[in-house]
A and B are shown apart, each in its own frame.
Chain A
Amino acid sequence: MYRFIAFGHSHIVAFAKGAYEYQAADLPAEAARVEGRFLYLYDPAYNPVLQGPPEARELNPKLREQLAELPWHFVVLVCGGNEHNVLGIVRNKRPFDFVLSSAPDLPLHPGYELVPEALIREVLKHYMADSLETMRAFRAATELPVMQLEPPPPLPNRRVLAYPREFVRASLLRAKIAPELIRYKLWRLESDIYAKFCKEFDIDYLPAPFDMVDRNGMLAEAGWGSDATHANPRYGMEVMKDVIELYAGAQEARVSS
């Protein structure tokens, strides 16, 4: 039995629902069992999440209490994750594309302005700043293993346009949504920022389930949530399995070393 506590923003919902489905599923005898607690960081009870002076912000004591309340095996963070959608979905005055350094041969959209990847990286970091600061505070608040989930891939454009709610609201114009390839690149770049941050702060970074990424780099239909940017419980269940695998693998490595 693995006992964990998870904290996060909106993407935690799919993970929590998937984890509950996993718990309730008729699992084979050898499958690991889990017991999780899921705390939504937008819950007023835990806000502000970070307290104290800007140069030394700490986790809200109520969140620290949650961390200490039970002998958890590990902590799962689902911080942020929609920043790539901020740039990929909202209307841009000057449509842009960029060369993704991890896949520099991907096509560039004809006629779009080429923006340095470094600039987009900085803009994403600007929007990710609170999430990164929150991750850092959780890492500082516990000795337990901490892992951060990679945000789910972007939903295909046809799905976004079918559900113009949340981020995009009714103002979304068909012509203004970025091409899927650019949205894919933004997601990869955001993921790279999270990955590098995690490496720096000793946080494990769990990639999105392989089977939940379609051949265009979008969220596979099986994982589509009920809006334009989120995944569903089935996606969350696949994540749960990967979380178990990551933790168990790390434990095995620890024992063997």
Chain B
Amino acid sequence: MNHPYKDLPDYALWRRAVTNVAAPDLDPVVDVPLMIGAHDKVATSGSCFAQHIGRYLRDNGLNYYVTETANPIAQPDIAMRMGYGVFTARYGNIYTSRQLLQLFRRAFGRFTPKEDVWVESATRIIDPFRPNIQPDGFSSMREYRTDREAHLHHVREMFENLDVLVFTLGLTECWVSREDGAVFPLCPGVLGGTFDKKRHQFVNLDVEDVVGDITTFLSELRAVNPEARVILTVSPVPLIATAEPRHVLVSTVASKSILRVACDKIVRTCKGVAYFPSYEIVTAGFGKTSYFAEDCRSVIEEGVAHVMRVFMRHYVRNSGPLRSLKELVSGFSARTTPQTSEVEQMAQVVRVMCEEEALDLASLPDNMKR
């Protein structure tokens, strides 16, 4: 008897592709619509998890494209703390599709948010669209405005010249200005500004919203950079908090599902766009292993290494012999913190700058913050 399931390849059969595969060998990538060459300029943006991608690209000798670099007077660790090199430009985490589209439009002068600065004091100026980009914000209004102008110039440079953009979608929940729809990476009042329900509105993007944002972004990107290719991923990092009146786990699954479905729709209809299953690799433990830390949220280095190993294998042209998972993790740890304990090494290498963490702090009673 013949039927469509007869003679399916191993990857299509759960028992062969998952059950009988050792956890570190799980590789769900089958079809690769685009490749990255050694000289391709690869830009990164997205949520916390996306920060790992840039450092792995750099460590593996790829052309990790950084347009907004720190002045060489800064030591690498200081530059990193100030948000340089974490992504291609110093925009911090971009959690939502709407934020990405907005960043593009701001960079090209197509949108100027009305609520564009949060003045905490004369020497503490917060950029509402990258509230955690440097400790204590900008030290004067003049510095803020000048830096922002230079930053948006570097963002333009990125979009105009990148060959590949790796964008990691993180959230669907966001806060926007009622006045002009400007979307904030974090709710006003958490890391700066003042929350005002008359001015700020909660929005939870649905599949159509995400698809609309990304397809519009692709269209506008291709208008300035016709050859640009895009790899979409979904962050496996759960929501740290939800503004929906429901359990945070339920919101997490809803958000990630929306993002995952949106990616599926986009790659089916848009050319030059690929989906890379980092979400699946990290979350598909199925009792074999867990790539989450004790907080059930942070992704441990083994998980990141697994994701990036699969990424390098499939998306990087002539990537050469791939290092083992153990080599990737131990090699990176050793380079990062040669004098600290293994536990501390691990803690450090997986540390990423997530302003979402501020939501955790903000939810504590006042007497616990001190």
Contact = CB atoms under 8 A, between A and B. Distances in A.
Interface in A156-212: none
Given A101-B123, A114-B150, A116-B134, A123 B141 contact: no
A119 B143 contact: no
Contacts of B123: 101
Nearest to A96: B71
Nearest to A105: B142
Chain B CB within 10 A, most for which of A115, A116, A118: A116
A122 B82 contact: yes
Given A92-B73, A113-B71, A122 B81 contact: yes
A122 B82 CA distance: 9
Interface residues of B, number: 24
Nearest to B124: A101
B34 to A, nearest CB: 34
Contacts of A115: 71, 73
Given A119-B74, A119-B82, A123-B78, A114 B134 contact: no
A99 B142 CA distance: 7
A94 B84 CA distance: 15
Contacts, number: 66
Contact of A99 (B70, B74, B134, B140): B140
A126 interface: yes
Interface in B114-164: 122-123, 134-136, 138-143, 146-147, 150
Contacts of A96: 71, 73
B7 to A, nearest CB: 60
A101 B140 contact: yes
B72 interface: yes
- Most A CB within 10 A of own CB, among B70, B74, B147: B74
A120 B139 CA distance: 12
A186 B173 CA distance: 43
B20 interface: no
A117 B122 CA distance: 14
B140 A123 contact: no
A99 B71 contact: no
Nearest to B141: A104
Contacts of B81: 122
B135 A126 contact: no
B367 interface: no
A138 interface: no
Nearest to A54: B339
Contact of B143 (A104, A122, A123, A126): A104
B2 interface: no
A123 B139 contact: no
Given A99-B139, A99-B143, A94 B71 contact: yes
Given A105-B142, A116-B134, A119-B70, 4 more contacts: A99-B146, A108-B146, A119-B74, A123-B78
Interface of A: 87, 92-94, 96, 98-99, 101, 104-105, 108, 113-120, 122-123, 126
Closest 6 CB pairs of A and B: A101-B139, A99-B143, A104-B140, A117-B139, A122-B78, A101-B123
22 contacts: A92-B71, A96-B71, A104-B140, A104-B141, A114-B143, A114-B150, A115-B71, A116-B82, A116-B134, A116-B138, A116-B139, A117-B139, A118-B136, A119-B71, A119-B74, A119-B78, A119-B134, A122-B82, A123-B73, A123-B74, A126-B75, A126-B78
